Structure 1
Amino acid sequence: MDRIAALRVFRRVIELNGFAAAARDLDLSNAAVSKIIKDLEADLGTPLILRTTRSLRLTDTGHDYFNQITRILDELGEAEDAVRSSGGEPRGVLRVSAPLSLGLVLLSPILARFAARYPQLELDVEFGDQSVDLIEGRFDLAIRGGLLQDSSLKARKLMDIERVVCASPDYLARCGTPESPEDLSGHRCLIYSLSPTPRSWVLDKDGESVRIAVDGGFRANNSLAVREAAIEGLGVALLPKIYAVDALASGRLVRVLPDWRGELHALYGVYPHHREASLKVRSLLDFLVEAVQDVLA
């Protein structure tokens, strides 16, 4: 039995909570995964997983074993990365999760330049607006905007995200221009459905903060779709300024309540604690910090 390979299979079975899911992830058959776990348990002389037709759970011994081998496999991965990168240049595979909208507007060319700088590195980027589990998805790094929720991850701030209230000139001509945050409750407000509070906007001005209940006839889980709905005159939007800047410059959108801004968010690079010493993660974070500052300059 290849012990390291068996440990990796055991880890994925637990992380993905199933033999079939681990088999798909590792490109193995269900029978192969089942045999590897049975052989591992036989070699250790104790059951690690209690199986039923609908679920699995770790035995007490299996739980302790999983925690220990996870640390060992993480350290082994870091050691392998260090050897591959001993010449001072990051190597190996770097898996990154990033928001789709931000990828289209900002990140795609930056990541392409990073890949060109480090040709020995295999960059694997998955774009999507849903927050992913870094461990389950086997990501080295995630780029996330907004307010951080998961305190179990390490984070490095990349940039502030200013958010502005805006609407099309056509909408404002038809429905009037809000003069105060409270006026927004009487307007069609376009909802970004992945927000932690999609029907509640927090606006700030000179240290004053107000929370406004909003609603409207349009919801989307993508900020660029919300922006396009605003441009088409469907209502008022609260958008990251970086998504709206071109439309504001061309007059397709107009700032509403220009003295007020959305609650300040930020863009972060987040990663598991065991990736803190990884040269490839640190290299990408350093590159991102420099690149986004050039964009904002």
Structure 2
Amino acid sequence: MQGRTLWELKVFCAVVEKHSFVTAARVMGISPSSATRTVQALETQLGVQLLQRSHKLLSLSAAGELYYESAKKMLEMQAEAENEIASLQSGATGSIRFSAPEIFSRFFLPQQIGLLTQDFPDVRIDVLYTDIMVDPIQENLDFSIRGAYPLSSELIGYPLWDYDRILCASPAYIEKHGAPDKPEDLSSHAIVLHTAPRILKDWYFKSDARTLRMHMPATHRVSSGTGLYELIRAGMGIGRLAAWVAKPAIESGELVHLCPAYRMVSSSGKNPQMHAVYGAKGLPRRAKMLLEVLRTKGLEQGFEATKR
């Protein structure tokens, strides 16, 4: 790598990963012509062609494939060294860019962000609230917080807490339609379904005695976690909520926990999990600090699943 700058390596890797000089230039904040000249200069220094170009296709040459792997490792080592240096500092600085489920905008996360930024005033927060499954690498995020059941992925997972998912309805709904005692009774009730990030029409109920699978056609559908919560509170039907979201409303009498002998699980019988995912380059120290705070505070507040 002697004679090559980290900037040239970053531009080259960005072009390879985005399959486009134009897109890579946009990500790097430079012009497409500058990105092209940087890669051409790199090829001239090395004396080999790294990229094969055609009108609509951009691919690595054999030499480019070898060089790309080495360049990636060099950039990862540099990032790791910067993180190690940052860990020697007494406080965290810089921005933390991440996504989180929309329900987090109402529950739990704002308070924890406030506490973190009080302790570390030089930290800046940039949050994308969405129930859509976000790829942190494509969106240039430090990490992405997800709920429900972890998917197999090349992304690295950071578990926060397992949690129970329970059935709830408002007192007004129950007064008008009655309360189901067991999952089989749900067929005569209005069901409110959360459709993001994907529609799961089959629900799995687990008690100490049995596990039951039921197909649940929706009476009402909503793509937002907060929207689901509010529809249930408004008496529109029965829906499933994370226990850590529903618990305060149950304690205040705004919601009622239905079929309490059952909890909602995956098809393999596992509890849902709140977790974060990030790319192979790792987490900056400040981002890891925030995730550690969220995990610790969540467990302190009893968000974890019931031990059964």
Which TM-score tier does this pair reach, normalised by the shorter chain?
0.7 to 0.9
Partner of 2:162, secondary structure, is strand
Partner Cα distance (2:63, 2:177) in 1 = 66
User: 1:237 Cα shift?
Assistant: 0.5
The alpha-carbon deviation at position 53 of structure 1 amounts to: 3.7
Task: Verify the 8 A CA contact 2:136 2:277 in the aligned structure 1.
Answer: no
Residue 270 (structure 2) pairs with residue 267 (structure 1): no
**Partner residue of 1:227 out of 223, 226, 229:** 229
Q: Which residue of structure 2 lines up, in the alignment, with residue 288 of structure 1?
A: 294
Tell me what 2:109 maps to: 107
State how far apart, in whole Å, the 1-side matches of 2:40 and 2:171 are: 67
Q: Which amino acid aligns with 1:131?
A: M
The CA distance in 1 between the partners of 2:219 and 2:51, in whole Å, is 49
CA shift in 2, pair 1:33/1:125, >3 Å = same
* Corresponding position of 1:43: 45
Q: Secondary structure at the match of 1:50?
A: strand
Q: Partner residue of 1:217?
A: 219
**How much has 1:287 moved relative to structure 2?**
1.9
- Does the 8 A contact of 2:97 with 2:143 survive in 1? yes
Checking the alignment, whether the CA contact within 8 Å between 2:132 and 2:197 is kept in structure 1 is no
Q: Deviations over 1:131-185 (max 9, x none)?
A: 2223233333332222211443433332222211112233334444333212323
Distance 1:29 1:256, change over 3 A: same
Mapped partners of 1:43, 1:130: distance in 2:
44
Select between 70-79 and 211-220 the one with higher mean Cα deviation: 211-220
* Shift in CA distance, 218/52, structure 1 to aligned 2, threshold 3 Å: farther
- Choose which of 8, 11, 28 in structure 2 pairs with 1:9: 11
Go from structure 1 to structure 2 and tell me whether the alpha carbon gap of 1:51 and 1:128 turns closer, same or farther (over 3 Å shift): farther
The runs of 5 or more residues in structure 1 that have no matched partner are none
Q: CA deviation at 1:189?
A: 1.5
Deviation at 1:195, TM superposition (A): 5.1
Q: What's the CA shift string for 1:63-82, capped at 9, x where partnerless? A: 23222211211110121222
Q: If each structure's helix is expressed as a fraction of its own residues, which one has the higher value?
A: 1
Secondary structure at 2:147 match in 1: strand
Distance (Å, rounded) in 1 between the aligned partners of 2:53 and 2:175 = 64
Distance 1:207 1:52 in 2: 63
Cα shift readout 1:39-82 (whole Å, capped 9, x = no counterpart): 32333233323334434332332223222211211110121222
The 1:40–1:221 alpha-carbon spacing in structure 2 relative to 1, beyond 3 Å, is: farther
* Alignment: residue pair count: 296
Residue deviations 1:214-257 (CA, integer Å, cap 9, x gap): 11232222111111122222221011122223332343322221
Match of 2:251 in 1: 249
Is residue 201 from structure 1 mapped to residue 208 from structure 2 by the alignment?
no
C-alpha separation in 1, matches of 2:219 and 2:64: 51
Change (3 A) 1:175 1:135: same
AA aligned opposite 1:28: I
Distance 2:176 2:167 in 1: 17
Give the stretch that moved more between structures: 76-85 or 39-48.
Answer: 39-48
Structure 1 range deviating more: 191-200 or 88-97: 88-97
**Which of 131, 134, 148 is the equivalent residue of 1:132?**
134
Equivalent-residue separation in structure 1 for 2:114 and 2:68 (angstroms): 37
Shift of 1:12: 1.9
TM-score by length of 1: 0.87
How far, CA to CA, are the matches of 2:19 and 2:175 in structure 1? Answer: 55
Partner amino acid, structure 2, of 1:160: D
**TM norm structure 2:** 0.84
- Separation in 2, partners of 1:132, 1:25: 17
Deviates more, 1:94-103 or 1:65-74: 94-103
Equivalence for 2:285: 279
